[in-house]
């Protein structure tokens, strides 16, 4: 299995995976073509229904075979085949569904004679209903009880995110992470899944590499990865993407806010949905936010709430659009340490 470790392979995932013998994956994330006529360079995304279903059974079967007994699998899929895939996993392969997640994004495709589609399904299953990795602590968000009602009964660690995810916009032209690949998943969304359902050192398999989002995030979060694409051009671009994130500093490299810390700060900010002004003015919220950020970054020397507040204010318009209406900016320097 060593030959698959940290590899971006070119080939048909079913054929490549068939060659592997023993289960190695702690987590599978798969975002296959949806059979909706999307334009890829090598794959033709308009198969006959029965052919697409047979192929779906084949790749899911291989992924499940190579998933370890305590492993988890997430499959992103459109409306057309979400129900079929649920039944394949549940009834045919006897896995247990944990969540039917709906990723709701803005800027769905415009339509004239029906409502515009603005979601993708993400089906989350485990092999063993009683034994699997789920790290709730790293994905919890600040609850309404904490941010709106200052309710003392609130869980101090925050609440689990809902199963409708609307905090991750589709990757658009202005995003730093944008590669040019047409249906690139946001790194922030993959980070939530990988953090929740695997630990450092675990092995993440993605049979449909595309731009390499899963591998890039797995690499940044210190997981092992294997991913495959039919297209050599996509695989090569993904290898370059990983190479660019090679040696990301864990501690700042001279700069107080290395790129990955900024990325993490933006993701956390988007997930918690508290405008900068409110966050920076409310010391308990800011300190909880800072604790979550430090937890994710695992810095030896954690950021102080003053540093986080200053950085949030500096990033300003680069943060998600929560703050469009906010005119209040609290000077971080006036915060007590
Ligand atoms: C929806 S895209 C994946 C996007 C990816 N999640 C990302 O964030 O960039 C699906 C990819 O699967 C690839 N593909 C299609 N059939 C395949 C097969 N049999 N084996 C491996 N890759 C395949 C396509 O070339 C395309 O790049």
Question: pLDDT tens, 105-147?
Answer: 876 677 889 988 899 999 999 999 999 999 999 999 999 999 8
Cα 30 to Cα 208: distance, rounded to the nearest angstrom = 6
- DSSP annotation of 100 reads E
Domain-embedded: residue 266:
yes
Q: At what angle do helices 305-315 and 283-297 cross, to 10 degrees?
A: 90
| pLDDT one-digit tens code per residue, 3-19 | 899 999 999 999 999 99
- Residue 127 CA to ligand 1 centre (angstroms): 24
- Residue 206 CA to ligand 1 centre (angstroms): 9
Q: Indicate whether 252 pLDDT > 80.
A: no
Q: Indicate whether 326 pLDDT > 90.
A: no
Domain-embedded: residue 147:
no
Distance of CA 167 to the CA centre of its chain: 11
Task: Give 171 or 9, the one with higher predicted confidence.
Answer: 9
Maximum average pLDDT range among 118-127, 177-186, 261-270, 323-332: 118-127
Nearest CA to ligand 1 atom 4: 210
Q: For the chain, give me the number of helices (H) and strands (E)?
A: 12, 8
| pLDDT one-digit tens code per residue, 17-44 | 999 999 999 999 999 999 999 999 999 9
Q: Indicate whether 324 pLDDT > 90.
A: no
Domain-embedded: residue 304:
yes
- Residue 114 CA to ligand 1 centre (angstroms): 28
Q: What pLDDT, on the 0 to 100 scale, is given for residue 248?
A: 57
Examine the domain organization and report whether 317 and 226 are in the same domain. no
Which band of pLDDT confidence, cut at 50, 70 and 90, is reported for residue 48?
very high
Examine the domain organization and report whether 218 and 120 are in the same domain. yes
DSSP-assigned letters across all residues of 159-228: BPPPSEE-S-----TT-TT--S-TTPPPHHHHHHHHHHH--TT-EEEES--TTTHHHHHHHHTT-EEEEE
Examine the domain organization and report whether 232 and 268 are in the same domain. no
Main-chain phi, psi angles of 123, to 5 degrees: -90, 125
Site to substitute for ligand 1 among 34, 36, 43, 205, most atoms within 8 A of C-beta: 43
Tally of domains within the chain: 2
Site to substitute for ligand 1 among 209, 212, 214, most atoms within 8 A of C-beta: 209
Examine the domain organization and report whether 215 and 277 are in the same domain. no
Residue 326 contacts residue 297 (beta carbons within 8 Å):
no
- Residue 295 CA to ligand 1 centre (angstroms): 33
Examine the domain organization and report whether 101 and 236 are in the same domain. yes
Cα 114 to Cα 190: distance, rounded to the nearest angstrom = 30
Strand blocks (E) in the chain: 7-10, 25-30, 67-77, 96-104, 119-126, 164-165, 203-206, 224-229
Which band of pLDDT confidence, cut at 50, 70 and 90, is reported for residue 299?
confident
Instruction: Over range 53-82, report the average pLDDT.
Output: 98
Show Cβ contacts of residue 171 under 8 Å, excluding neighbours closer than 6 positions: 177, 178, 184, 185, 186
Q: At what angle do helices 305-315 and 259-272 cross, to 10 degrees?
A: 90
Domain-embedded: residue 152:
no
Domain-embedded: residue 272:
yes
Mean pLDDT across the chain: 89
Distance of CA 153 to the CA centre of its chain: 30
Q: What pLDDT, on the 0 to 100 scale, is given for residue 108?
A: 64
Which residues are near ligand 1 (CB < 6 Å)? 12-13, 31-33, 40, 42-43, 181, 183-185, 207-208, 210-211, 213, 228-231, 234
Q: What pLDDT, on the 0 to 100 scale, is given for residue 331?
A: 29
Domain-embedded: residue 203:
yes
Examine the domain organization and report whether 281 and 240 are in the same domain. no
Domain CATH number, residue 172 = 3.40.50.150
- Residue 170 CA to ligand 1 centre (angstroms): 17
Q: Indicate whether 246 pLDDT > 70.
A: no
| pLDDT one-digit tens code per residue, 285-294 | 999 999 999 9
**CA torsion angle for 267, 268, 274, 277 (degrees, to 10)?**
-90
Q: What pLDDT, on the 0 to 100 scale, is given for residue 316?
A: 82
Q: Indicate whether 154 pLDDT > 50.
A: yes
Cα dist from 42 to 4, 33, 45, 209, 324, whole Å: 22, 12, 9, 13, 41
Domain-embedded: residue 104:
yes
Examine the domain organization and report whether 224 and 128 are in the same domain. yes
Which band of pLDDT confidence, cut at 50, 70 and 90, is reported for residue 247?
low
**CA torsion angle for 187, 190, 196, 202 (degrees, to 10)?**
-100
Domain-embedded: residue 290:
yes
Cα dist from 73 to 127, 194, 214, 287, 318, whole Å: 8, 11, 13, 34, 33
Domain boundary among 213, 244, 275: 244
Examine the domain organization and report whether 180 and 322 are in the same domain. no
Instruction: Over range 225-242, report the average pLDDT.
Output: 97
Region of poorest pLDDT, from 50-59, 144-153, 202-211? 144-153
Q: Indicate whether 210 pLDDT > 60.
A: yes
Examine the domain organization and report whether 108 and 228 are in the same domain. yes
| pLDDT one-digit tens code per residue, 177-209 | 888 888 999 999 999 999 999 999 999 999 999
Residue 22 contacts residue 69 (beta carbons within 8 Å):
no
Q: Indicate whether 255 pLDDT > 80.
A: no
Examine the domain organization and report whether 231 and 111 are in the same domain. yes
Examine the domain organization and report whether 291 and 235 are in the same domain. no
Region label for 325, one of left (φ > 0), alpha (ψ between -120 and 50) or beta (otherwise): alpha
- Residue 299 CA to ligand 1 centre (angstroms): 35
Q: What pLDDT, on the 0 to 100 scale, is given for residue 323?
A: 38
Range of the structural domain that residue 124 is part of = 2-133+167-244
Examine the domain organization and report whether 79 and 222 are in the same domain. yes
């Amino acid at each position: 299995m060593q030959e698959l470790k940290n590899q971006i392979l070119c080939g048909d995932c079913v054929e490549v995976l068939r060659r592997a013998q023993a289960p190695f994956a702690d987590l599978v994330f798969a975002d296959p073509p949806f059979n909706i006529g999307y334009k890829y360079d090598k794959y033709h995304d308009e198969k006959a229904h029965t052919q697409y279903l047979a192929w779906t059974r084949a790749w899911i079967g291989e992924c499940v075979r190579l998933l370890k007994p305590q492993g988890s699998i997430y499959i992103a899929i459109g409306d057309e085949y979400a129900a079929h895939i649920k039944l394949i996993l549940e009834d045919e392969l006897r896995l247990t569904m944990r969540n039917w997640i709906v990723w709701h994004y803005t800027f769905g495709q415009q339509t004239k004679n029906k409502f515009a589609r603005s979601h993708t399904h993400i089906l989350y299953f485990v092999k063993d209903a009683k034994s699997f990795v789920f790290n709730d602590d790293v994905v919890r968000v600040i609850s309404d009880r904490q941010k709106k009602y200052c309710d003392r009964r609130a869980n101090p660690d925050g609440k689990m995110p809902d199963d409708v995810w609307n905090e991750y916009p589709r990757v658009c032209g202005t995003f730093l992470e944008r590669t040019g690949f047409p249906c690139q998943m946001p790194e922030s969304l993959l980070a939530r899944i990988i953090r929740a359902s695997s630990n450092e050192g675990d092995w993440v398999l993605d049979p449909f590499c595309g731009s390499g989002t899963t591998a890039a995030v797995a690499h940044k979060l210190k997981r092992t990865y294997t991913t495959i694409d039919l297209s050599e051009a996509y695989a090569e671009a993904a290898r370059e993407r990983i190479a660019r994130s090679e040696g990301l500093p864990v501690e700042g490299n001279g700069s107080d806010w290395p790129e990955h810390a900024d990325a993490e700060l933006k993701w956390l900010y988007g997930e918690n949905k508290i405008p900068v002004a409110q966050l920076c003015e409310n010391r308990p919220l800011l300190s909880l936010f800072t604790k979550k950020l430090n937890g994710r970054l695992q810095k030896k020397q954690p950021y102080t709430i003053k540093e986080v507040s200053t950085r949030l204010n500096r990033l300003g318009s680069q943060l998600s659009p929560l703050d469009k209406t906010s005119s209040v900016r609290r000077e971080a320097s006036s915060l007590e340490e």
